[in-house]
Amino acid sequence: MSTPRHSRNAMALLARFGRDRSANIAVIFGIAVIPIITAVGVAIDYSTATRMKAKLQSAADAASVASISQNSAGYKAAAAMTSDGSVAAGVAEANNLFNGNAATTSGYTNLSVTSTVTKTGTILTSNVTFSAQVPASFLGVIGFQNMTIGGTSKASSSLPAYLDFYLTLDVSGSMGLPSTPAEAVRMQSINPDNWVQYRTGCTLACHFAPQKSACVDPPVTPPAAPNPNPATNAGYSQQYNTNNYCMGYVYSRVSQTLLSNLINMTSTAQVPKQKPGLPDSMIPGLPGSLNTDPRWGIAAVTSCPTAGTDSCIQLRLDAVGNALNDPNNGLLAMAKQKEAVANQFRIGLYPFIRYLDASYAPLTSNITGSAITTAASNLAAELDTNVNASLGSGGTHIDNALNSIGGLITSVGNGSSSINTKPYVFLVTDGAQDNQVKGVPNGSWSGSNHATTIDPVAVCKPLKDRGITISVLYIPYVTINPVNTTFAGDEDDYANNNIPNIPASLQGCASPPDSAGSYFYTANTPQDITDSLNAMFNHAVQTAHITN
C-alpha cells in the first residue's frame, strides 16, 4: 500500500528541520546573554566602587597629612607634650578633616573612619582608616546588594627638638685684642699702655682697671715729656701720664678722631699738657675724666658692633657680641626665627676667665628679650679688667669653665619635650690655656704664665660621655710681634710657641663629626665669627632633627 503524498511531504519537512542548524545561534545567544550582561554589570559596579574608594582615599590622605602638619592643632599639642602617647587634638582634627572632605562626595553608605595620632619621641604619626558601602546596580541580580570598600593612609613628621645652648665664652685678656689687623693698627697708634715694653703699641694685657695694676706713669711732672727712649726695665710702662691707669679699653670706647686731636693738641699756658698726652687738668680724674671732664670729656659707647667706625675700636669680644645680637643675622635673632614652637630653644651666655660666671645671662627661652640681648651687646665689658670676682683674673682657665658648665647641665635628654631637652655646649675661645692667676682687685700673680692647651680627654670627654654635644669656635691666637723676651720671664715666646698646638687640642675637645659635618669651626674675621656661630646653631638643629 503506498504512502499518501501529503504524508511524505510532512515527513520530509520534519527531516529537513532536524538537519537544519541555523537557528542554534539565536538559542546560544539567548543562553549566553545572561552572563554577558552580568559581567558588564559587575564591571560597571566595580568601576563605580573603585572611583568612590579613590575619592575617599584622597580624603584620608589629606586628613593624615594635614592633621600632623606644622600648623595643625595636633602638631602643636604633640610638641607641648612632655611624654609619648596619643594626641587627642590630632585625632579630632584627622576625623574632622576626613569627614569634611568625604561630605563633598555622595554615592556611599555606612561610612566609618578611625584615626590615630601618636607621639613617639620626636616622631608624630597619623593613621586614618575608613570603610564604606557602595550600592550595587547589577550585582543585585545575583544577590549582592552592596560592595564594601576601605583603605588606610599613614603619614609621619618630625617634631621640633627642644635644645639648650650653653655658650661658653672666653673673655680673658687675649680675647680683648682688636678684631682685625686694621683695628690693631688703630689701637697701637693711640694706646699709651706698656709703651716702654712694646714700642709698637700695646694690644694685649692693656685692660686691667685698678690703678698701678699693670700700668705705671713715667717719673716726670706734667707737662714735661717723658724720656723718649727708656730702657724696658725703666720701672714704668706708660708713654705719658695716665694717673697710673691702663687706658687701652677706655680708649677703645671713644671717638678716635676726638681722642687723637686731644692727645696731639699742643700744650699752652691755658691748657698745659704733654704732647702726646692728655690735659694736665684731666689726669688726676683718669680714667673716668676721659668721658666726664666738662671741657675735654669724650662720650663713650658701651659696645662696638662695627669694625673701622670712628666711634670706637672693635675688640674680639665686640665681634662675638655682635655675632650673637645682630638683629638681622645674629644667632639670637636667627634662633627666634627658626623656632617651630614656643620655647623650643633656650640659650645662655656664660663668660669665663678663671671662673665661669653662671649668673651673667643664664639659660632662657626668652632669646630675644632685653636681658640676653643686652648681655650679648655688652660682652666686651666682661673683658678681664681685674675687678670681677665672679670671673677671676689673670689667665684663661678653659678646663674650669667646661667643668662648671658640666655642673650646670643636670640632665641630658633627647630633645623630645621641654622637660627632656638636648644640651649643646658652644665653646668660643682662642684656645690658649693659661693657668696663671691675678688677685682681684690688683692682687699678686701666681701660677704659671706659660701658655699651654687643654687635655681633651680629661676636660672634654666627661661631657661627651654624658651625651652632651660640644661645638668649638676657635678664634686663632694672634702671634705676639715683636717679642719682648725680658717681659714676665719670656711669656711672649711661650705664648707664640704654643699656638701650633691649639687647633688639635680644640678639635679633640669637639664632638666627633656627624652627617652634618664637623663640630670644630675657625673664625679669623668678625664676619667669620657671625657665620660660624650661625653654622654651629644650624648644625645642632639639623642633627637633632635627623637623629630624633
**From the CB of residue 231, how many other CB atoms can be counted at a distance below 10 Å?**
9
Residue 223 within a domain: yes
Residue 88 CA to residue 93 CA, distance in Å, equals 9
Beta pairing class for 520-522 and 469-474: parallel
Residue 17 within a domain: no
Domain boundary among 289, 314, 339: 314
Q: What is the CATH number of the domain that holds 342?
A: 3.40.50.410
DSSP 8-state symbol, 160:
P
pLDDT of 525:
96
End-to-end alpha carbon distance in the chain: 112
Could you tell me the residue range of the domain that residue 301 belongs to? Answer: 179-314
Q: How many independent structural domains does the chain possess?
A: 3
How distant, in Å, are the alpha carbons of 281, 292, 311, 533 from that of 296? 10, 8, 16, 40
Mean pLDDT for back-to-back runs of 10 residues, the chain (548 residues): 56 60 56 59 75 92 92 89 92 95 89 94 92 78 76 91 97 94 93 89 77 91 78 90 95 97 95 93 97 96 96 97 96 95 95 98 95 96 95 96 98 93 98 95 93 97 98 94 85 93 98 96 97 97 72
Question: Can the peptide bond before residue 482 be classed as cis, meaning omega within 30 degrees of 0?
Answer: yes
- Model pTM score: 0.83
User: 344 and 259: one domain?
Assistant: no
Give which of 180, 170, 192 is closest to 309, Cα–Cα: 180
User: 150 and 167: one domain?
Assistant: no
User: 431 and 342: one domain?
Assistant: yes
pLDDT of 384:
95
User: 459 and 498: one domain?
Assistant: yes
Give which of 64, 48, 54 is closest to 150, Cα–Cα: 54
Residue 236 within a domain: yes
User: 397 and 520: one domain?
Assistant: yes
Alpha-carbon 343 to chain mean position: 14
How distant, in Å, are the alpha carbons of 88, 324, 491, 543 from that of 514? 36, 25, 39, 8
Q: What are phi and psi of 55, to 5 degrees?
A: -65, -45
Domain boundary among 280, 314, 348: 314
**Cα 396–Cα 163–Cα 383 angle in degrees, nearest 5:** 25
pLDDT of 52:
87
User: 392 and 282: one domain?
Assistant: no
Residue 254 within a domain: yes
DSSP string, 224-275: SPPPSS--TTSS---SS--TT---HHHHTTS-HHHHHHHHTPPP-SSS-B-S
Residue 157 CA to residue 125 CA, distance in Å, equals 7
pLDDT of 487:
80
User: 509 and 451: one domain?
Assistant: yes
Helix axes 316-325, 370-377, angle to 10 degrees: 150
DSSP string, 441-510: TT--EES----B---HHHHTHHHHHTT-EEEEEE-PPPPPSS--TTSTTTHHHHHHHHGGGHHHHHHHHS
Residue 340 CA to residue 342 CA, distance in Å, equals 7
Residue 19 within a domain: no
Residue 2 within a domain: no
Residue 42 CA to residue 48 CA, distance in Å, equals 10
Domain boundary among 290, 314, 338: 314
Give Cβ neighbours of residue 155 (< 8 Å, ≥ 6 apart). 61, 64, 65, 67, 68, 125, 126
Residue 544 CA to residue 430 CA, distance in Å, equals 27
Q: In what order do the strands lie in the sheet with 345-352?
A: 361-364, 345-352, 163-170, 422-429, 469-474, 520-522
Residue 364 within a domain: yes
Q: Which three cell numbers stand for residue 304?
A: 662696638
Amino acid at 170: D
Give which of 14, 61, 1, 81 is closest to 341, Cα–Cα: 81
Q: Which residue has the cell 568625604?
A: 102
pLDDT of 26:
54
User: 359 and 496: one domain?
Assistant: yes
User: 409 and 528: one domain?
Assistant: yes
Give which of 34, 280, 512, 521 is closest to 538, Cα–Cα: 521
pLDDT of 11:
64
Residue 203 within a domain: yes
User: 436 and 498: one domain?
Assistant: yes
**Coil/strand/helix, residue 311:** coil
User: 301 and 327: one domain?
Assistant: no
User: 235 and 254: one domain?
Assistant: yes
